[in-house]
C-alpha cells in the first residue's frame, strides 16, 4: 500500500534557498575572479625576471671518421648532465642548464660511444651570458663576446 505524503514548503523557505544559492554562486565567482587576476599578475612578473644568464654551446661535429656524439656538461665532481646529441657533419646549439652557478668550473664532453671521448678545456661559468664555440675535430674553443 502506498501513501502520498504532501509536504509543504513555505514560500519563504523556497526564497531562502534561492538566496543561499545566489550567494554561493556570487562568492564562487569572486574567488575565481581573484584567482584569475592573481595568476595574470604572477605570469607577468615572471616574464620580466626571465632574462637570467644563458650559457650556450655552438658545436660543430666534424669528427673524422664521422660519428654521432652525445654531449654532456661535467662538473668538477664528475657529475654528467646530458645536453643533447649531435649527428656527424652537423652543427647544433646546446643550452647549458641554468643551475650551473657563477664561478663553477666544468668541462664539456662529447662521447662518441665506442671511440675516445673529446673533453674540452676547463670553463668557468660567469654571472653574464656565455657563448662557447666548440670544434670537435681540433678540440678548439672560442668565446665570442655577447652583444648588449
What pLDDT digit, counting tens, does each position of 56-96 carry? 999 999 998 899 999 999 998 999 999 999 999 999 999 99
Q: How far is Cα 88 from Cα 90, in angstroms, rounded to an integer?
A: 5
pLDDT at 6: 56
Q: In degrees, to the nearest 5, what angle opens at C-alpha 41 toward C-alphas 37 and 47?
A: 145
Least confident of 21-35, 36-50, 73-87, 101-115: 36-50
CATH ID of 55-142, from 2.40.160, 2.60.40, 3.40.630, 1.10.287: 2.60.40
Please provide the average confidence, as pLDDT, over all residues in the chain: 77
* 140/43 Cα distance (integer angstroms): 41
Give mean pLDDT, residues 27-53.
48
pLDDT at 117 over 80: yes
pLDDT number for residue 82? 95
**Interval 31-47 mean pLDDT:** 46
**pLDDT tens-digit map of 14-33:** 566 665 566 555 554 544 44
Tell me what pLDDT residue 41 has: 47
How far, in Å, CA of 83 to CA of 35, rounded?
Answer: 37
pLDDT(143) > 80:
yes
Amino acid at each position: 500500500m502506498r501513501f502520498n505524503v504532501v509536504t509543504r514548503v513555505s514560500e519563504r523557505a523556497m526564497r531562502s534557498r534561492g538566496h543561499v544559492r545566489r550567494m554561493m554562486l556570487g562568492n564562487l565567482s569572486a574567488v575565481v575572479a581573484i584567482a584569475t587576476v592573481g595568476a595574470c599578475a604572477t605570469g607577468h612578473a615572471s616574464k620580466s625576471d626571465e632574462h637570467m644568464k644563458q650559457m650556450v654551446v655552438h658545436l660543430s661535429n666534424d669528427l673524422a671518421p664521422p660519428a654521432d656524439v652525445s654531449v654532456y656538461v661535467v662538473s668538477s665532481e664528475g657529475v654528467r648532465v646530458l645536453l643533447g646529441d649531435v649527428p656527424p657533419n652537423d652543427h647544433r646549439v646546446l643550452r647549458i642548464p641554468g643551475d650551473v652557478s657563477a664561478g663553477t668550473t666544468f668541462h664539456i664532453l662529447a662521447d662518441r660511444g665506442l671511440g675516445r671521448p673529446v673533453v674540452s678545456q676547463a670553463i668557468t661559468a660567469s654571472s653574464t651570458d656565455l657563448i662557447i664555440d666548440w670544434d670537435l675535430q681540433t678540440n678548439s674553443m672560442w668565446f665570442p663576446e655577447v652583444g648588449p
